[in-house]
């Protein structure tokens, strides 16, 4: 692995601004990931560094979110919640009002924007913000645990600086807010791999949703059948995403790294291991372009922490194989004596499941390619 100028963004202030204790979005994932990476010696030395973050500026937030919405968020966070903000998704079970809600969102967004700035200023080749990935927020609506859309803001910052941005969303839920932000633009290509929206929130991201106007064909959605496993997932990525990357020729990648596609995640139904995520990052790195990676979903905390730590090792060029006997676990579904370190053991996929997934995914891939590839002159 070639070492890269890598930057790990961590906001200590967020440790004091958690989501409610009974909420599925457990903010302990970021500090646990940092501690695991630190214990490996992967945070400092050589080309690797860690940095803090500052709250996103209001003027930057208003490039995507409305003033009315931001005022409502801030007011609710300070105890001034009013009934009519429910129409903005604020105060629901998914997006509850809690002390520090607004400040939390500003810091998470500020970290992603700091990562974009580090890439634009040629201070880093690979950046990871484990606090970010709030891809469901819309200009005037909170949704899906998301209040401020930091991936969209980071993509905007990069695109407004003249960069062609390839946004890859591997969260198990469709990256609907980011797709909305760039639905009619051709300087940002959004590609989302997610579980079948007929089954899973937010109910968007069907194959026919391909953007509009100048952005026609620059929004790509690939819904995945229940039980999708590593080999099938990687095959779909190779068939759909890789040809699009080659023809789009991005200057930078932004990756929303939700780890809720892993087997055993309580909110989804895929059968992935963290190895497939590592493989996808390796393929992106082969294009030799900067990568800004954010966190995202992932509701089995320990599995998510390992996935993010493994992703950081790949992203920053620090091989985790030396730690193969660290006994850190993995997506188990079996013996608790697994000694695979950060990497999950290979899952045994029943033949019936393989056949069902292969058939369903082949249909989806063919449909996406027929809709999108001709627009870009790619032969199907």
pLDDT digits (tens, 9 = 90+) for 1-59: 466 899 999 999 999 999 999 999 999 999 999 999 999 999 988 899 999 999 999 99
pLDDT of residue 333 exceeding 50: no
Give pLDDT, residue 340: 60
Handedness of CA 69, 71, 73, 76 (dihedral sign): negative
CA-based nearest residue to 177, from 215, 140, 206, 227: 140
269 is catalytic: no
Q: What percent of the chain has pLDDT over 90?
A: 90
Give pLDDT, residue 327: 42
Mean pLDDT within 285-293: 98
The owner of tokens 């006994």 is 327
CA-based nearest residue to 167, from 145, 151, 190: 190
pLDDT of residue 357 exceeding 80: yes
pLDDT in tens, 166-208: 999 999 999 999 999 999 999 999 999 999 999 999 999 999 9
Where do runs of H (alpha helix) occur along the chain?
A: 29-39, 58-61, 67-77, 101-120, 150-160, 176-181, 230-236, 242-248, 274-285, 301-315, 351-372
pTM of the full structure:
0.95
Give pLDDT, residue 302: 96
CATH fold, domain 6-376, is 3.40.800
CA distances from 22 to 19, 27, 88, 120, 148 (A): 8, 12, 22, 39, 21
Residues with Cβ < 8 Å from 123, sequence gap 6 or more? 5, 7
Give pLDDT, residue 322: 42
Backbone φ/ψ region at 157: left (φ over 0), alpha (ψ -120 to 50), beta: alpha
CA-based nearest residue to 147, from 105, 103, 176: 105
Give pLDDT, residue 281: 98
Q: What is the CA radius of gyration of the chain?
A: 19
Give pLDDT, residue 2: 62
Give the least confident one: 89-98, 212-221, 326-335.
326-335
Mean pLDDT within 326-347: 60
Mean pLDDT of the chain: 93
pLDDT of residue 84 exceeding 90: no
Give pLDDT, residue 82: 81
Give pLDDT, residue 105: 98
Give pLDDT, residue 206: 98
Are residues 202 and 164 in contact, defined by beta-carbon separation less than 8 angstroms? no
pLDDT of residue 324 exceeding 50: no
Give pLDDT, residue 1: 45
Give pLDDT, residue 45: 81
Query: 109 is written with which tokens?
Result: 């967004």
pLDDT confidence tier of residue 332, bands split at 50, 70 and 90 = very low
DSSP character string of 6-54 = EEEE--GGGGGSPPPTTSS--TTHHHHHHHHHHHTT-SSBTTEEEE---
Q: Is 195 helix (H, G, I), strand (E, B) or coil?
A: strand
CA distances from 21 to 18, 115, 225, 296, 335 (A): 8, 29, 32, 18, 30
Are residues 199 and 226 in contact, defined by beta-carbon separation less than 8 angstroms? yes
Element (DSSP H or E) covering residue 164: none
pLDDT confidence tier of residue 380, bands split at 50, 70 and 90 = confident
Give pLDDT, residue 326: 42
Pairing of strands 252-256, 219-224: unpaired
pLDDT confidence tier of residue 318, bands split at 50, 70 and 90 = confident
Higher per-residue confidence, 332 vs 53: 53
Which of the following is catalytic: 104, 135, 136, 194? 136
pLDDT of residue 334 exceeding 60: no
pLDDT of residue 113 exceeding 90: yes
Give the least confident one: 45-49, 66-70, 206-210, 293-297.
45-49
Buried b (16+ CB within 10 A) or exposed e, 361-373: beebbeebbebbb
């Amino acid at each position: 692995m070639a070492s890269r100028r890598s930057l790990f963004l961590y906001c200590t202030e967020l440790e004091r601004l958690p989501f409610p204790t009974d909420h599925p979005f457990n903010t302990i994932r970021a500090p646990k990931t940092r501690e695991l990476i630190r214990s490996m010696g992967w945070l400092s030395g050589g080309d690797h560094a860690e940095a803090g973050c500052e709250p996103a500026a209001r003027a930057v937030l208003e490039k995507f979110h409305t003033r009315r919405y931001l005022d409502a968020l801030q007011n609710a966070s300070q105890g001034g919640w009013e009934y009519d903000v429910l129409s903005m998704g604020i105060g629901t079970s998914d997006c509850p009002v809690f002390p520090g809600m607004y400040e939390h969102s500003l810091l998470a967004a500020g970290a992603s924007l700091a990562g974009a700035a580090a890439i634009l200023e040629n201070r880093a080749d690979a950046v990871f913000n484990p606090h970010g990935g709030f891809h469901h927020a819309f200009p005037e609506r909170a949704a899906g645990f998301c209040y401020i859309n930091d991936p969209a803001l980071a993509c905007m910052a990069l695109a407004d600086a003249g960069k062609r941005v390839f946004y890859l969303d591997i969260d198990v839920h469709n990256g609907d807010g980011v797709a909305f932000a760039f639905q009619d633009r051709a300087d940002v290509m959004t590609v989302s791999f997610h579980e079948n929206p007929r089954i899973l929130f937010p109910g968007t991201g069907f194959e026919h949703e391909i953007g509009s106007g100048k952005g026609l064909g620059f929004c790509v959605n690939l819904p995945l059948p229940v039980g999708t496993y590593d080999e099938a997932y990687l095959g779909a990525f190779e068939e759909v995403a890789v040809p699009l990357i080659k023809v789009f020729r991005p200057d930078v990648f932004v990756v929303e790294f939700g780890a809720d596609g892993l087997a055993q995640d309580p909110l989804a139904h895929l059968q992935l291991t963290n190895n497939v995520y590592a493989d996808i990052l390796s393929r992106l790195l082969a294009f030799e372009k900067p990568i800004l990676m954010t966190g995202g979903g992932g509701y089995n905390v320990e599995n998510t922490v390992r996935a993010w730590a493994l992703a950081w090792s790949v992203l920053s060029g620090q091989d985790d194989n030396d730690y193969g006997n660290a006994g850190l676990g993995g997506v188990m579904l079996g013996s608790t004596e697994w000694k695979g370190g950060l990497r999950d053991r290979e899952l045994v996929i029943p033949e019936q499941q393989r056949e069902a997934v292969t058939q369903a995914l082949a249909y989806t891939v063919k449909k996406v390619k027929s809709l999108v590839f001709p627009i870009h002159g790619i032969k199907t």
